[in-house]
Amino acid sequence: MNDTKKILIIEDHKDMLRILTRNLQDNQFEVLGAENAETGIQMLAEFNPDLILMDLMLPGMSGLEAIAIIKEKISDQHHIPIIIITAKGESDDIVLGLNTGADDYIVKPFNFDELIARVKTALRLKALNEKLFEQTAQLEQANRQIYDLNQSLVEKNRELRRNVFNLHTIFEISIELNSILEIDRLVNSTLLTMVGQFSCKNAMFIYNHDMDHSHLRVKNSKGFNEEEVQNLAFEKEDPLFKYILRHPYPLDISVLKARVNGSNAIDIFENLDVQIISPLILQSKVQGLIVLGPRVRTQAYQRQEIENISILTNIVTISMQNATLYQQVEQLSYTDGMTDLHNFRYFKLRLKEEVGRHKRTNTGLSLLILDVDNFKNYNDTMGHPAGDKVLKKLGAILTASVRENDIVARYGGEEFAVILPAIEHEGAGILAERIREKIETTPFDNENVQPLGKITVSIGAASLPVDANNTKDLIRFADNALYEAKRSGRNKVHIFNKKTLKMQ
């Protein structure tokens, strides 16, 4: 019997198609390629692939349209995993692709070892899915036979159904959890699932996605006294976590109490009337715990339920990892690589949001645009690496000078922008002058080469609703004010007014 897995590649770039084909064939896969979605869909029935690798950006029919058509053509039982290929920064396309029905994604440029690993993982999940369908069908057939043979076995049949926990339900839960890419929403959905499936009085999610942190903390809880649990912190060096690494499955608190000595965490859980602790383990480290209280009914957790808790915990572990990676990728797409400030793309997004918030709440909004005076002179004299150091230092000064909810962004080149929610003309002017003075008095390397003998900035400011009533005008008026600050001698702050507009 031939066990070679078949992969259909839909990729319009011939070089990429050829490279993908060669690498997959080198890993013992049978490969067929198509250069557009229409051809790929026509190949489905004849080639009957085990997995589809598809670029989202295709000529003619888009990758998203192709995914929708493919999902209509195949049943859940004969699920074909789809891995989408997308370019770095296209996080919206990734979300659309996953929501349309794709199973996974990989971002260009990618490591081929990672691609092969993702392909193999998707094929393993496909095999598990097929096995689940097969087992479910077998169970349903067995249940019908039992009912026909002897009516007295009906109660036993019901017990069997309860113990199996309905494999189809687990599969549906896994799809739902894996589709959530926001960590807070994923945690909340996990707790609601646990409470609903196991009828427990309360549940708690303990996690810390900062891998180097020394503590795990409560991220969310259901049914516990919030004031009692929200500030709980558990040292990763606690004996409980060392024991869990050797026994990585759901454990009863009474068992842990008897087997683990000197654990402060176990004492805390016992005082909270916790009954089950199920660990999230990743890269041989305990990254979190799903903690369940006693059942609403007096009946204890059954063995099959403990196994189901373990299965769901493993699913949640993978989902948390995916959500964390997604947020990291999203953060990178909104970050300026040199200064670590927000980039222009994020600035435009947030300014639009803040203008909308102002229109709803009428709380005011100001915008500062800063430009480094004579920066070209410094760059030409000292070189670009020295200029980059100046921009990084300016970014740090700006971040330290504003409130936590203010938005500092690199506007472009040597320009920066600061969005100031709930601040109007007067407050914007005071802050801008404070920033200008701070930069003027901060020493920079070789600043004596500048015409003013130091690194300085010019700042323009405009506000809602005094100056403008929309995003476009707010940016334009702040830019006009910046021009006035530079025209009047540099190293100045200029607040926009109607006279400024008439002079432009």
pLDDT for 168: 72
Q: What is the mean pLDDT of residues 105-131?
A: 89
pLDDT for 407: 94
On the question of pLDDT at 19 being above 60, the answer is yes
**Of 192, 189, 191, 194, nearest to 176 (Cα)?**
189
Measured CA distances, 328 to 118, 183, 323 (Å): 19, 11, 9
- Cβ atoms of residues 278 and 249 within 8 Å: yes
Cα 28 to Cα 191: distance, rounded to the nearest angstrom = 41
Measured CA distances, 399 to 317, 333, 347 (Å): 35, 19, 14
315-341 confidence digits (pLDDT tens): 998 888 888 888 878 777 788 889 999
Considering the entire predicted model, what is its pTM? 0.49
On the question of pLDDT at 9 being above 50, the answer is yes
- In this prediction, residue 25 has a pLDDT band, given cuts at 50, 70 and 90, of very high
Architecture of domain 344-503: 2-Layer Sandwich (3.30)
**Of 207, 206, 172, 214, nearest to 291 (Cα)?**
206
> Where exactly does CATH 3.40.50.2300 map onto the chain?
6-125
Top-confidence residue, 178 or 104? 104
- Cβ atoms of residues 205 and 187 within 8 Å: yes
On the question of pLDDT at 350 being above 80, the answer is yes
**Of 483, 345, 478, nearest to 410 (Cα)?**
345
pLDDT for 205: 93
* First CA to last CA distance, the chain: 79
Question: Which region among 147-161, 304-318, 376-390, 452-466 has the lowest average model confidence (pLDDT)?
Answer: 147-161
Topology, domain 165-325: Beta-Lactamase (3.30.450)
Cα 88 to Cα 99: distance, rounded to the nearest angstrom = 18
Cα 384 to Cα 435: distance, rounded to the nearest angstrom = 24
- Cβ atoms of residues 65 and 22 within 8 Å: no
- Cβ atoms of residues 492 and 436 within 8 Å: yes
> Where exactly does CATH 3.30.70.270 map onto the chain?
344-503
**Residue 38 in 3-state DSSP?**
helix
On the question of pLDDT at 135 being above 60, the answer is yes
Q: Tell me what the pLDDT averaged over the chain comes to.
A: 88
pLDDT for 212: 47
Q: Which residues contact 486 (CB under 8 A, 6 or more apart)?
A: 371, 373, 458, 492
Question: Which region among 166-180, 235-249, 276-290, 411-425 has the lowest average model confidence (pLDDT)?
Answer: 166-180
pLDDT for 503: 41
- In this prediction, residue 71 has a pLDDT band, given cuts at 50, 70 and 90, of confident
Q: What is the mean pLDDT of residues 273-280?
A: 93
On the question of pLDDT at 27 being above 60, the answer is yes
On the question of pLDDT at 281 being above 50, the answer is yes
> Where exactly does CATH 3.30.450.40 map onto the chain?
165-325
283-302 confidence digits (pLDDT tens): 888 889 999 999 988 788 88
Homologous superfamily assigned to 6-125: Response regulator (3.40.50.2300)
Question: Which region among 93-102, 147-156, 295-304, 348-357 has the lowest average model confidence (pLDDT)?
Answer: 147-156
- Cβ atoms of residues 463 and 363 within 8 Å: no
pLDDT for 471: 93
- In this prediction, residue 88 has a pLDDT band, given cuts at 50, 70 and 90, of low
pLDDT for 120: 92
455-478 confidence digits (pLDDT tens): 999 999 999 998 888 999 999 999
Q: What percent of the chain has pLDDT over 70?
A: 92
pLDDT for 160: 60
Q: What is the mean pLDDT of residues 119-129?
A: 89
On the question of pLDDT at 167 being above 80, the answer is no
197-231 confidence digits (pLDDT tens): 888 999 999 998 565 478 899 999 999 988 888 88
Determine whether 415 is exposed, middle or buried from the number of CB atoms within 10 Å of its CB (0-12, 13-18, 19+): middle
pLDDT for 466: 87
Q: What is the mean pLDDT of residues 363-376?
A: 94
pLDDT for 163: 54
- Cβ atoms of residues 59 and 30 within 8 Å: no
pLDDT for 142: 80
Task: Dig out the tokens for 409 from the structure.
Answer: 């962004």
